[in-house]
Structure formats: structure tokens, C-alpha cells
Structure 1
Amino acid sequence: MTKTAHIIGAGLSGLSAAVRLANEGYRIHVHEATQNAGGRCRSYFDGATNMVIDNGNHLLLSANIHARLYALSIGSEDKLIGPDRAEFHFADVSTGKKWLLDLGRSRIPFWLFNAKKRVPDTGVLDYVKLMPLAWANNSALVGDTITCEGTLYRRLVQPLLLAALNVDPPKGSAGLAGAIVRETLLAGGKACRPLIAREGLSAVLVDPALEFLKGKGANIQFAHELRQIDTRNGNVAVLDFGDDTIALGAEDVVVLAVPARPASNIVLGLKAPTKFRAIVNAHFRYDPPEGLPALTGVVGGLIEWLFAFPNRLSITISDADRLINTPREELARDIWRDIAKVAGLGEAVAEGPLPPWQIVRERRATFEATPEQDALRPGAKTEFRNLFLAGDWTDTGLPSTIEGSVRSGHLAADLILTR
């Protein structure tokens, strides 16, 4: 008898769970509240720039095993593009200084012992002082675990942890920061090779999954929002979508892969994060100058990461609540000035007419990665035997990242397969 899985939410958490269960013979029904799949990781045509852009700029690393396995399972891993070694370009817009962090290819961080490969003006001891993060517990603050000042902090640790935690690093969870350090810097260059979906997030991580699921006979419904669940004898018995309901069979399972707030409205009494932080992404239709790296970390300015795509320059700013109400034109100009400095475009371009642009402000992009909010993250199991949770806000051991999102979907699917 074919088993049935209802996947609530077509973001990466839901899609990764659906793909894994479909591969194990489950009949899949995906129910997505909006008109689009992908959640925060999707692409769309933008009229202001007259091009397809991503909702947000996202970077994967070669250590992101779950995300890479997911891409492999849907046939798109070859579209995650990156260098053959872990190299990261950085620029300081306040001083004009640029450098290359070269982590190499090894599983062992030999790069630490080569001054030409480290962050300039840092020594081995500076990196050793980061070790307390590796075994910090989730109730500790980053600021109480390591010294949040100095050259290494400003040029590497702060931008790395800010991007991962989406909070000012000293206020973030040392346990979550430690997970990032263990899986990246301490794992050597082999784990840190940057990978970018240069054809767009949807083309690489979303559309292939939908095609894969359709090929497995899955039913995918958009504009189909789950409103509430009816339970009976420790199981979810009915899914209520407002205009229609679905009665579940004895062996049917449900993966609830929606953001924390709607999940809490559906599963009453669910423990979940209550505080969130914004991320700002901006896209400019402009041909990158020759020699500009595909990815540049930026310190000393407003922007934090610059992505160079064909015909487009895009940036990311984390912990961006302070920018939510900034006038769009003012923000676009300030961002463009930083881009011009990093890309060497010159003052005339920086202060001249702006190229076609778009700013995407995600007000509730990630949960606030503090010890307080991390303690509110639920596991994949619920009080109901046939209901499982997925999402980067659940307890994955990582902050809100693509890897955490996919990992949560895989965890939910694995619990279903072994129950």
C-alpha cells in the first residue's frame, strides 16, 4: 500500500523533505500558501531592472552536505558554481585595502601557518583565540566567549558571524557561532569552497525539485494555505484549508514546513522563536568590470557582501532592521557608492545616474540567533505521531541558513522513514 505524505510549504525545507520521501516511495502532496515555490530562496522577474533576480543573495559552502545532496538528488549540483579552492576576496571601503584569504583545498587548516594566506596583519595566535567558540554552549554569548575586537575580528570573524547569525555577533549565540566555525574554518579549505547558484536560486534549487516531484507523480497545489488541523487520538486527522478539507489515512504523515509564526497558529501551544531580524538585498543592472571576483566580502562600509553576476551587481546587508524605513532612493545611492569603491568604478560612476536597481527588504528574514531565541526552537517531532516540523527556525544546530533549511527537511523525512 502506497504511503502518503502531505508537505505543507514549498520552501527548501518542504521541498527537501518531499524529495527524500518521494525517493522512498511515498506519494507526495505539496500544499503551498502562495503562488510561488522557494520561500526566501526564489527568483522572479523584476520590472525595475528588467531582469530575473533572486529574492535574496545566498552563498553555499562545500561543507554544506545536506544542501549539496539535495541538489544532487534533483540533478542540479553542477549548477552550484565556485572556484576549485577556498579563496575569499575582501575589501575595506574605509581604507581601500584589499586582500585574499586563501584556505586552500586541504581538510587540515594548513593555511593558518602561511602569512600570505591569512588575513593581513594577523598571526596564528589570533586564530587560536577563537577556539573557545568551538565548544561553547548555546546559552553563552559570542561576546562573552571571544574578544570581539582587533584586526582578525574586524576583517573576518565579524563579517562571517554577522552573515551567519544575522545579529550583531557579540549578542549572538556562541553555540550557533561555534557550529559555523567547526564546519568551516576548522574543517580546512576543503569544507570552505564557496558555491553560488549563478543561474538563479529557482533555476538551481527550486524548479528542478518541482520537476523531479512531478516526475514521481506528486500533486503540487499553490494558493492552498493550511488554516488549521483537527487532531484525534494523538494524530492529525484532518487538514483544513478553508475552502476544502483533507481527511488523513491511518498511515498518512504531515510535514509542516512553514515559517515560525504560521506554524504557531496551526499547532497551538507550539514553542517557537518570537523575534526576527531583517536582511536587505539590492540588485543593480550593471556589467561587472573585468577582474571583479564573483564574491567579495566588504568591511568598513554599509554593504557586507558583493556578488558579481552576468549583467548584475548584487549586495547583502545583514542585521538590517535599522534600514527598513530608510528612503529607497537614499539607500540605493549609499549602496551604489560602496559598490563603486569595491569594484573600482570611480567617483563619476558612483555619483552619476544610478543604473536600474531594485532593493528587497526582508523584514522577518531569520529568527534572532541569540541564546534566548535559540532556546525556543522546537525539534522535528511534535506531540502528534504523524506530524513533523521542518524549517530553518527549528532546532537544526545551525542558524537560519540554506544548509539548516535543507537539513531540517531531511531530518523530518528521516524521522518519518524510521518511525
Structure 2
Amino acid sequence: MNDATIHVVGAGVAGLSAAVRLADEGRRVVLHEAAGSAGGRCRSYQDQALGLTIDNGNHLLLSGNWAALDYLDRIGSRARLQGPSSAAFDFADLKSNERWRLRPNDGRTPWWLFDPSRRVPGAALHEYLAPLRTLRTTGTASLSDVMKCSGPLYERLWGPVLLAGLNTDPAEGSALLAAAMLRETLFAGGKACRPLVAIGGLSACFVDPALDHLYARGATIRFGERLRGVAFADGRAVGLDFGEGRTEFGSHDELILAVPPFVARELLPELHAPDEFRAIVNAHFRVEPAKDQPLILGVVNGLSQWIFSYPEHVSVTISGADRLIDRPREDLAEAIWGEVAAVHGLGSKPPPWRIIKEKRATFAATPIQNAKRPPAHTRWANVVLAGDWTQTGLPATIEGAVRSGYKAASIVTERRDGARVRKRAGVSR
């Protein structure tokens, strides 16, 4: 069994985390990636127009994301994350010009709610209890079925936070996914929701160290290999077609498909998977942020939603951005910069900019689409799925992607170890 090869197709975070886990266990891993670089939607690149290395999109971890942090510990890059020493979230209301800082205490008992200086201004105390109803929901309920999606606190806290996590209008989003997200963050206390950002870039934190880690453990990594088809026989995958010849499987080889759902559906007959998606728009401006600005700033009553202040540039993320996909980039840059300039106290003329539109950034986190998410197991004996669109129990996040990769690796490991035990016992299957 030690000569079995594990083929991981897709070098996004899900595929990388699966490959890292397997390589750490001494498995023979071959990682195939269609693009010329790894990372998928979690990557950096050198932008010639800006003269800067920027991320494809802004990603935020929280201190309670145990799987993502374990992955970074394995590849030795956790120190590349930066954030405040305790949970703190800064907000600015563009309509009222108010600014405030949300500061949950570390423990699960939310005594911070009794301190007005740590709360959102203009909201009644009972409004903080509204999301508790999501904890008793079913898989078919949308958030609007279980809580009121309006009011001061919804507009200034629950709406922005849930939109960022679900990338779907929270009112139509899955109450089950909203509950899962809140249960592991705000409901777990400030110790679990300290914000962490890869200041030096996503690739330098999540991708490049993983590739180095895999190379050091003997893994094979092949870029520019787009999987065209999978050959099956007797309930197993027996080969991979990359367009220029077929990779034949040995009798014990395994396949982990860590590709987007629309690609997986083309490769696996009759696969049920999410088929509705939501967009994200990111804007990057080459400008040095004001020194008194927080690392992350939530924006209320504006087009912008989250402003990230990096050493040499400012980036803005807009989730649930389907309405903006067809809007001209020049118009978006001017409108977004006007809001950035207002909160940062900068000039009105936009500096050099880059707008990145991800039309299918995540699956739509609605109850219907959540029900379409497949498990990691498939009906083929040696094929496993990974990706934030599989049944992770979470919305489409980095944490969900890593958990899916870990799950896929665990399935392969348990199957290989079980087969080894049966072989030693003289049992065939």
C-alpha cells in the first residue's frame, strides 16, 4: 500500500491543505493544477499597472478558525498573519459620519454588552439577541424566516458581518449557515473572533510556503495541467485525461478532486452540486493609508463594505456584488475611492487603481444551494471531493476550504490504512 499515489487535482486552499496533510503522513502525492500558479481564489500577483503585489481578493481569518491556523502552522507561516491583540472591529457610517469600535470580551459570557462604549451606537440591547434564534433552525429556513433583517443593529452589525461570511444577501441566506458561522465566532466570545490578515499577501502566507512544504516532502507538483476527463471502470477511477495523454492509475491509487463545483460536475457524472453563485468585487488603490486608520474598517451606508489598509495600498471588498458586475470599472473606482477618501481623509482624485470582479466567487449560500452541497465521499471507491462548496457545515470561506481538504485527506488515509490492515490479516475486499 505504500506505493499508492494520491492524485490531488486543484491547487487552491482545499487541494493544498489535503496535499499537505497527506504529505505529512508520508503519502506519495501528485498535485495537478490547471493554472500556471497555485492558490485559486486565494492568491497574490504582481500588478504591472500598480507596480505592487496585490491579492486577487481580500480574505480575513478569525482566531477561532482552528483548521486554517493548523494549516498555517504545518507550513510554517502563521507568523505572517497580523491583527489586534484582542477582538476589535472598527466601523464607519458614511451617512451619519459616526465611527465606533465593537469590542467583545474574550469569554463566552458577553458582559461587554453591558458596556455602551464597546457596543454599536443607536441599538437596543435586545437586538443583540436576535441571531440566537438561528441556533434552533432547520436546513430549509432562510435568515429572514427566523430573525428580523432590519433595524439599527442589523444595518450596523448583523447585516455587514453575515453578508461578509455568506456572500449572499443575509435575508435570503441559509439560517443554518449563519448559525454555524456565528456559533464559532461571536457566540464563542472575543477569543475566537480576533481578526487576522495576511499583510504580506495571500500567496506569501497560504500558498508559497505550502508548495515549499510539499516539495520538501517529495510531492510532485504539475502546473498547466487541466483535467479534461476521468476514466472509470468497476466503480473506480482508473485514469486521468489531461489532453496530452492519459495518466493511468495503479490498483491502489486515489483521486481527490479539489476543483470548483461547475468543473466537478463536468468530470463526475450525475454529481449534485451548487449551481448558483454570487459575485465579489475588490478594489485596490496604490496609496499609503493614513497612519491612524485601522487595519480593517467596516463601512455602513456605502457602496464599500470593508476597507483594508496595507502598507502601500488600500483595498476594498464588496460582497454579494452581482449588481456591480456589469458596471464600468472606471465608475466603480471613482465611487469607491470617494468613500475611501472620506473615511481616510485623502484627496478626491483616485490614485492608480485596479478593480477585480469575481463573478462566481462563491456558491449562493441559500437554503436551496446549501442542500445541493455534496459530501466528500462519492459513489466511486477511490474518488473524494474537496472544496468550500462541499458539505463543510460552513459558508464558502478559507476555513471551510481547509476543513474540506483535511476531510478528504482523512478519508484517503483511513481507506489506505484499513486496506493495509485487511491485507495483513489476509482479508480481501
Is the structural similarity TM-score above 0.5? yes
2:231 and 2:238 in contact (8 A); partners too: yes
The offset of 1:104, in angstroms, is: 2.9
Corresponding residue of 1:384: 380
1:12 and 1:405 in contact (8 A); partners too: yes
Equivalent-residue separation in structure 2 for 1:195 and 1:66 (angstroms)? 14
Corresponding residue of 1:313: 314
Structure 1: 4+ residue segments shifted above 6 A:
none
Corresponding residue of 1:411: 407
The offset of 1:143, in angstroms, is: 0.7
Once the two structures are superposed, the pairs formed by residues 214-253 of structure 1 within 5 Å of their partners are: 214-253=215-254
The offset of 1:416, in angstroms, is: 1.2
- Matched AA of 2:404: S
1:87 and 1:103 in contact (8 A); partners too: yes
The offset of 1:202, in angstroms, is: 0.1
Q: Could you list the per-position Cα deviations for residues 272-316 of structure 1 after superposition, in whole angstroms to 9, with x for gaps in the alignment? A: 111111100000000011110000001100000000000100000
1:6 and 1:255 in contact (8 A); partners too: yes
Corresponding residue of 1:159: 160
SS in 2 for 1:278: strand
Unaligned runs of 5+ in 1: none
SS in 1 for 2:123: coil
1:42 and 1:55 in contact (8 A); partners too: yes
SS in 2 for 1:329: helix
Quick check: 1:268 aligned with 2:269?
yes
Equivalent-residue separation in structure 2 for 1:53 and 1:129 (angstroms)? 38
SS in 1 for 2:88: strand
Corresponding residue of 1:368: 364
Once the two structures are overlaid, the 10-residue window that deviates more, 302-311 or 102-111, is: 102-111
Equivalent-residue separation in structure 1 for 2:291 and 2:83 (angstroms)? 17
Once the two structures are superposed, the pairs formed by residues 166-315 of structure 1 within 5 Å of their partners are: 166-315=167-316
- Matched AA of 1:404: G
- Matched AA of 2:244: D
- Matched AA of 1:96: N
1:133 and 1:181 in contact (8 A); partners too: no
Equivalent-residue separation in structure 2 for 1:310 and 1:357 (angstroms)? 15
Aligned residues: 414
- Matched AA of 1:418: E
Quick check: 1:339 aligned with 2:340?
yes
Q: Could you list the per-position Cα deviations for residues 317-371 of structure 1 after superposition, in whole angstroms to 9, with x for gaps in the alignment? A: 01111111111111100000010112122xxx12x3x211000000100001101
Corresponding residue of 1:102: 103
SS in 2 for 1:63: coil
Q: Could you list the per-position Cα deviations for residues 194-235 of structure 1 after superposition, in whole angstroms to 9, with x for gaps in the alignment? A: 000000000000000000000011110011011111111211
Equivalent-residue separation in structure 1 for 2:307 and 2:135 (angstroms)? 28
1:8 and 1:30 in contact (8 A); partners too: yes
SS in 1 for 2:162: helix
Equivalent-residue separation in structure 2 for 1:249 and 1:224 (angstroms)? 20
SS in 1 for 2:332: helix
Equivalent-residue separation in structure 1 for 2:135 and 2:343 (angstroms)? 32
Q: CA RMSD in A?
A: 1.0
Equivalent-residue separation in structure 1 for 2:267 and 2:131 (angstroms)? 41
2:8 and 2:19 in contact (8 A); partners too: yes
SS in 2 for 1:116: helix
Equivalent-residue separation in structure 2 for 1:17 and 1:137 (angstroms)? 30
Corresponding residue of 2:420: none
The offset of 1:185, in angstroms, is: 1.1
Unaligned runs of 5+ in 2: 416-429
SS in 1 for 2:121: coil
- Matched AA of 1:371: P
2:34 and 2:226 in contact (8 A); partners too: yes
Corresponding residue of 2:393: 397
2:4 and 2:250 in contact (8 A); partners too: no
**Given the two structures, how large is their TM-score scaled by the length of structure 1?**
0.97
Quick check: 1:67 aligned with 2:68?
yes
Equivalent-residue separation in structure 2 for 1:67 and 1:337 (angstroms)? 34
Equivalent-residue separation in structure 1 for 2:130 and 2:226 (angstroms)? 49
Equivalent-residue separation in structure 2 for 1:37 and 1:365 (angstroms)? 16
The offset of 1:17, in angstroms, is: 0.1
Equivalent-residue separation in structure 1 for 2:131 and 2:390 (angstroms)? 27
SS in 1 for 2:116: coil
- Residue identity over aligned pairs, in percent, reads 51
SS in 1 for 2:54: strand
- Matched AA of 2:226: E
The offset of 1:135, in angstroms, is: 2.5
- Matched AA of 1:367: F
Q: Could you list the per-position Cα deviations for residues 139-179 of structure 1 after superposition, in whole angstroms to 9, with x for gaps in the alignment? A: 10101110011111010000001111111110111000111
Corresponding residue of 2:23: 22
The offset of 1:113, in angstroms, is: 2.5
The offset of 1:399, in angstroms, is: 0.7
SS in 1 for 2:407: helix
- Matched AA of 1:47: Q
